């Protein structure tokens, strides 16, 4: 092993170039950690002739994946090419060729993680994926190593930098969603097609990965209830802050009595909650354990070097396992059978913004509906809308109720004669776990 470890790289984009830079510039630190040099062997690229803004031996570049996956001198394959279909096949082939794998591919791990981990176990190989969630924040390692002895009951976090940047600027500058989205795209914080980010799908994939690890339960992507930020307005954000809350896109995984709840949606957090202070493109994950209590992981959630740092950290662990002769032994089947909470199990407070007829009996009709369902008001604002004759705006934060009850109330509000429009509705989180 002292002769060194050779790496094969699949992909040479933003993250791949960061991996090469760290390996080349941090050789002394890596050698100190693992006791041998690390060398880049072959690199799969789409176009060998493409101009690149960093130095790399062109003889190491290939457009044929087999040059990486079947090369007997390559010990570890790092997958940073993205996508699902090709990456799934490449990782499977690498594992079957007895090569350890490190990946940053959240989409792939959310959909096929259990399958690929099984292939890794069957072939005595390691498969690590720290960089698939929250970029450079070591939250996966925190769950699997730092909190391994604890029983995790809740994980909630801001795990998508694009949406957090958009909501931050909407709140700070009073600008609408479409305006800030265009700015985020111009700055490179949002893709030209931002659907995966703004509709909450990217965050949902990350929460599925975290819940699988944190709860030791095989969670599927379709188990996550998802709602994005495209309907959030600056008016909503202003009312939230008046009432002492900040509106954030939150990924939430909770476990109670062996049953899990998984969701990604815009939520109100108290202004004094640590996640409420996470701004711009930064990520943070808040974890509750029965023994440790509350912990938070915070840092840059994306970018070339932060994500590459997580990839190379996994690489260090792989090489240490190789030197100790314990490769593949860290992979374990989930301990618990998947059980999901029902709507009757899921409890929280809710924020509602309504336009109602400003006439005698309107407020009495509203309170009667909530009283019928045994739901009381924690906070309430009401005033006439000057631009709309005989129309009032009502903003409510309820006391805790379950989702089934709230859905009945919401549907009844839409059908009420005194309610002109249900303008917005959000969950309120961040109190006692």
| Catalytic residue numbers, as ranges | 206
Residue 1: per-residue pLDDT: 47
Token pair, residue 212, equals 């699988």
Ordered per-residue pLDDT tens for the chain, 433 residues: 457 899 999 999 889 999 999 999 999 999 999 999 999 999 999 998 888 877 788 889 999 999 999 999 999 999 999 999 999 999 999 999 999 999 999 999 999 998 999 999 999 999 999 888 877 788 888 888 888 888 999 999 999 999 999 999 999 999 999 999 999 999 888 888 999 999 999 999 999 999 999 999 989 999 999 999 999 999 999 999 999 999 999 999 999 999 999 999 999 999 999 999 999 989 999 999 999 899 999 988 777 788 899 899 999 999 999 988 988 887 777 888 999 999 999 999 999 999 999 988 899 999 999 999 999 999 999 888 877 778 999 999 999 999 999 999 999 999 999 999 999 999 999 764 4
Contact 43, 78 (CB under 8 A): no
Half-sphere exposure of 372 (CA within 13 A, CB side): 11
Residue 334: per-residue pLDDT: 80
Total-model pTM: 0.89
Residue written as token pair 């240490």 = 320
Residue 2: per-residue pLDDT: 59
Helices (H), 64-188: 66-69, 85-96, 106-122, 139-141, 161-173, 177-187
**What are the chain's domains?**
5-134+304-324 (3.40.50.720), 139-300 (3.30.360.10), 347-428 (3.30.70.260)
* Bridge partners for 347 per DSSP: 402
Half-sphere exposure of 268 (CA within 13 A, CB side): 24
What is the per-residue burial (b if ≥16 Cβ within 10 Å, else e) of 125-150?
A: bbbbbbbbbbbbbbbbbbbeeebeeb
């Amino acid at each position: 092993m002292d002769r060194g470890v050779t790496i094969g790289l699949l992909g040479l984009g933003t993250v791949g170039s960061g991996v090469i830079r760290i390996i080349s510039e941090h050789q002394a630190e890596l050698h100190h950690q693992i006791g041998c040099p690390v060398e880049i062997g072959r690199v799969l690229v789409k176009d060998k002739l493409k101009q690149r803004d960093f130095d790399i031996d062109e003889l190491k570049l290939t457009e044929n994946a087999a040059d990486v996956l079947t090369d007997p001198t390559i010990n570890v394959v790092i997958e940073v090419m993205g996508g699902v279909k090709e990456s799934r096949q490449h990782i499977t082939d690498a594992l079957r060729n007895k090569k350890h794998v490190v990946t940053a591919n959240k989409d792939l791990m959310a959909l096929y993680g259990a399958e690929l981990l099984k292939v890794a176990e069957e072939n005595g190989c390691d498969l690590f994926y720290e960089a698939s969630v929250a970029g450079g924040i070591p939250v996966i390692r925190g769950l699997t190593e730092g909190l391994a002895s604890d029983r995790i009951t809740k994980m909630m976090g801001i795990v998508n930098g694009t949406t957090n940047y958009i909501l931050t600027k909407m709140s700070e500058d009073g600008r609408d969603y479409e305006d800030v989205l265009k700015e985020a795209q111009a700055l490179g914080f949002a893709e030209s097609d931002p659907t995966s980010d703004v509709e909450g799908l990217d965050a949902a994939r990350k929460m599925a990965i975290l819940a699988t690890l944190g709860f030791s339960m095989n969670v599927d992507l379709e188990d996550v209830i998802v709602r994005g930020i495209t309907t959030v307005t600056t008016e909503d954000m202003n009312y939230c802050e008046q009432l002492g809350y900040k509106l954030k896109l939150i990924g939430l995984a909770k476990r109670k009595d062996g049953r899990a709840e998984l969701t990604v949606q815009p939520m109100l957090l108290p202004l004094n909650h640590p996640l409420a202070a996470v701004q711009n493109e930064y990520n943070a994950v808040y974890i509750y354990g029965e023994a440790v209590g509350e912990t938070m992981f915070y840092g840059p959630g994306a970018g070339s070097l932060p994500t590459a740092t997580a990839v190379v950290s996994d690489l260090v662990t792989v090489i240490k396992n190789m030197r100790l002769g314990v490769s593949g032994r860290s992979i374990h089947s989930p301990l618990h059978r998947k059980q999901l909470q029902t709507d009757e199990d899921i409890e929280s407070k809710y924020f509602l913004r309504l336009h109602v007829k400003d006439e005698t009996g309107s407020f009495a009709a509203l309170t009667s509906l909530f009283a019928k369902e045994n739901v009381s008001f924690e906070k309430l604002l009401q005033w006439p809308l000057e631009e709309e004759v005989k129309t009032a705006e009502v903003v409510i934060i309820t006391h805790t109720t379950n989702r089934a009850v709230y859905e009945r109330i919401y549907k009844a509000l839409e059908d009420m004669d005194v309610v002109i429009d249900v303008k917005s509705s959000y969950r309120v989180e961040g109190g006692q776990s």
